[in-house]
Amino acid sequence: ASCQCKMDPSERRNCGYPGISAVECGKAGCCFNNSVAGVPWCFAPKAKKVRKVCPYIPHARINCGFPGITAKECERKGCCFRAYPAGVPWCFYHHMVEE
């Protein structure tokens, strides 16, 4: 994403070699901007921001517990707990979502 490439030129971490083209830089998963001299033109993107969310769709749940697990036991494992509907895990893993 282009927002991952927006940073102060002084923050750039080199991701290429002298004379690398914008195409080769992009193929390496890096950002390219040759508008500032004296800093890397091919540079590492910022890390993606992710957050954990409990999946809304019951059938997307991936089991994190065992039959009869309590909400407290489930949350202690770092998982989501919803005691409904029947037929799906009530203790389940988070999904990671990009911000």
Quick one: 56 and 88 in the same domain? yes
pLDDT band at 51 (very low <50, low <70, confident <90, very high): confident
Tell me which residue range forms the domain holding 94. 50-98
Quick one: 33 and 67 in the same domain? no
- Give the mean pLDDT of 72-96: 94
What's the pLDDT at 49?
82
Domain count, the chain: 2
User: If we measure between CA atoms, which residue out of 49, 73, 50, 53 comes closest to residue 61?
Assistant: 53
Enumerate residues 6+ apart whose C-beta is below 8 A from 55.
61, 80, 92, 94, 95
Enumerate residues 6+ apart whose C-beta is below 8 A from 67.
none
Q: What is the pTM of this model?
A: 0.53
